[in-house]
Amino acid sequence: MLRRLLILIAVSLIVTFSATADIVPFLDTVVDLGGGDFGFNYAINVSGVERLDPTATNGLTCGGAACNPAGTFFTIYDIPDFVGTGAVLPSGWGVSVQLTGLTPFNAGVPDGSLMENVTFTYTGPVINGPVDISGFQIISTSNAVAPGSYSSQATNNTADLLNGTTDFAFGSVSVPKASAVPEPASTAILLSGGLIGLALVRKRFTRQ
């Protein structure tokens, strides 16, 4: 009996998590754009219990209150060696870049505010999940991959009382890896070595 109860609780937790899956971005490909730039191409999965519905996320659908921030979007945080974003986006989508990333009010995503965050916002007609959408590009001078974070906001599309309410999600996504930076001790050694070299050159020219 106890085992059956534990199984039911586990299934319930899985269903609850799935019901708030929201927009989940994932890294699709990394391409060499030339000139030292690399395109990190992302796609998103909108689950079968979600929909992209900008009107709903601009209303009183966040626990009966106005959503703050409003909108249907996903944010990828702290992009090292950031250059820009792709010139072409999927239909109905826009992009913005900011040091403080657009984040659902209850998503505990760490944002260092020292590197650019990229937010893709949907303002088109309603799209029901499940659906995958590709064509979101972030450009960096790094071609390596590291773990990063995202958050997202969309609309519940279940056939119950939660239908039309706003869902939030946050989790892990791959991002560019920061370029290697010399340790403080190494920097000091390099700097002192350079100064010594300059002193020797100056002394040599003085003797002549």
Q: What is the set of domains in the chain, with CATH numbers?
A: 22-195 (2.60.40)
Q: Return d(Cα 161, Cα 151) in angstroms, integer.
A: 24
In the beta sheet, which residues pair with residue 138?
Answer: 40, 85
For the cut 90, the answer to whether the pLDDT of residue 204 exceeds it is no
pLDDT band with cut points at 50, 70 and 90 for residue 112:
low
Q: What is the pTM of this model?
A: 0.78
Tens of pLDDT, residues 45-67: 999 999 999 999 999 999 899 99
Among 91, 99, 73, which Cα is nearest to 152's?
Answer: 73
Give yes or no for a contact between 42 and 140, defined as CB atoms under 8 angstroms apart: no
Tens of pLDDT, residues 79-109: 999 999 999 999 999 999 999 888 998 776 7
Give yes or no for a contact between 140 and 80, defined as CB atoms under 8 angstroms apart: yes
pLDDT band with cut points at 50, 70 and 90 for residue 179:
confident
Structure tokens at 187: 């920097």
